[in-house]
């Protein structure tokens, strides 16, 4: 997160940190959001397609500092990674940048609700928030595009939703931003998501609930003038989320 401030995990209790083990060491990979005690929603571009062995991944919930074990954290293995079959990588425009991860502990448990760990609401079908709605982004990602290291501490920032038209025509060339995406940025270009925040939440308040409206997906640099962050538009995937969660749950019953 660029231009943000330190956040307590209690204020973002749905935030997930996804790690990948490479030659014996855990490396931070991406953010995610807990949408059900057993499921984390994230970005498809976080994973190799087809995904590597599930056993290399770990998911943390309730974590304020990346490399410090927190007494409130919960850690999970990855049971399943379901990347959207229509995902196209960088070269294909990052369409359908969404993935579901099923989590479970060594003893087969899903997440346990606490002050530090809680699910976020999915938007209602068709929810279309107006331009300039203030939303919140959070993550452990870089605080500057050129930083070497991730933030280590959970950070959050506010960004404003940008109209589809303005984003397509004024900020990115027409074709890159599709209706499955939503743009958001700071009017002064001071705050933005950055490398490592991918997969993490953009939440917007709607009817008094913090609602997961976007998934950090891509952008030209970080907090660059006239280059807003681009997010996967969660409302376009409600059926996909539902049917995949149900299909896997039914299979394992
Ligand atoms: C990235 O490389 C990335 N400013 C994520 C978000 C943004 C840019 C890059 C948005 O993961």
**pLDDT by 10s per residue, the chain, length 253:** 999 999 999 999 999 999 999 999 999 999 999 999 999 999 999 997 666 789 999 999 999 999 899 999 999 999 999 999 999 987 778 999 999 999 999 999 999 999 999 999 999 999 999 999 999 999 999 999 999 999 989 999 999 999 999 999 999 987 789 999 999 999 999 999 999 999 999 999 999 999 999 999 999 999 999 999 999 999 999 999 999 998 876 666 5
**Catalytic residue list contains 97:** yes
Determine whether the shortest distance from the Cβ of 210 to ligand 1 is under 6 A: no
Residue to mutate (ligand 1; options 182, 189, 198, 214; most atoms within 8 A of CB):
198
> Which pLDDT belongs to residue 248?
72
Closest residue to atom 4 of ligand 1, CA basis: 222
Q: Ligand 1 pocket, 138 CB below 6 A?
A: no
pLDDT at 173: 83
CA 175 to chain centre: 23
The answer for residues whose C-beta is within 8 angstroms of residue 162's C-beta and 6 or more apart is 131, 171, 183, 184, 185, 228
Q: Is 162 helix (H, G, I), strand (E, B) or coil?
A: strand
83 is catalytic: no
Measuring from atom 2 of ligand 1, which residue has the nearest CA? 195
Q: What is the pLDDT of residue 86?
A: 94
> From the CA of 204, how far away is ligand 1's center (Å)?
19
Ligand 1 nearest-atom number relative to CA 228 = 4
Give the ligand 1 atom nearest the CA of 220. Answer: 8
Of 121, 28, 106, 120, the C-alpha closest to 74 is: 106
Q: What is the pLDDT at residue 3?
A: 98
Q: Are 186 and 3 in contact (CB under 8 A)?
A: yes
User: Atom 8 in ligand 1: which residue has the minimum CA distance?
Assistant: 219
CA pair distance 145, 141, nearest whole angstrom: 10
Query: Is 206 an active-site residue?
Result: no
What ipTM was reported for this prediction? 0.97
């Amino acid at each position: 997160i660029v231009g943000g401030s330190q956040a307590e995990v209690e204020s973002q209790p749905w935030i997930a940190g996804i790690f990948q083990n490479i030659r014996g060491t855990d490396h931070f990979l991406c953010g995610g959001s807990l949408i059900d005690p057993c499921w984390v929603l994230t970005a498809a571009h976080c994973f190799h397609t087809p995904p590597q062995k599930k056993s290399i991944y770990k998911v943390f919930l309730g974590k304020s500092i990346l490399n410090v074990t927190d007494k409130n954290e919960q850690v999970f293995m990855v049971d399943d990674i379901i990347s959207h079959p229509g995902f196209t990588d960088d070269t294909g425009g990052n369409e359908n940048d969404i993935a579901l991860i099923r989590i479970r502990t060594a003893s087969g448990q899903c997440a346990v609700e606490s002050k530090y760990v809680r699910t976020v609401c999915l938007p209602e079908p068709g929810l279309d928030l107006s331009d300039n709605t203030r939303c919140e982004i959070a993550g452990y990602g870089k605080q500057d595009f050129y930083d070497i290291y991730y933030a280590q501490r959970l950070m959050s920032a506010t960004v404003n939703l940008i109209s589809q038209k303005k984003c397509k025509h004024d900020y990115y060339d027409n074709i890159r931003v599709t209706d499955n995406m939503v743009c958001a940025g700071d009017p002064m270009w001071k705050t933005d998501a950055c490398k490592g925040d991918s997969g993490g939440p953009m939440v917007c308040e709607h009817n008094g609930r913090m609602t997961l409206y976007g998934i950090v997906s891509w952008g030209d640099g970080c907090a660059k003038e006239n280059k807003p962050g681009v997010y996967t538009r969660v409302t376009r995937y409600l059926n996909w989320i539902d049917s995949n969660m149900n299909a896997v749950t039914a299979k394992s019953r």
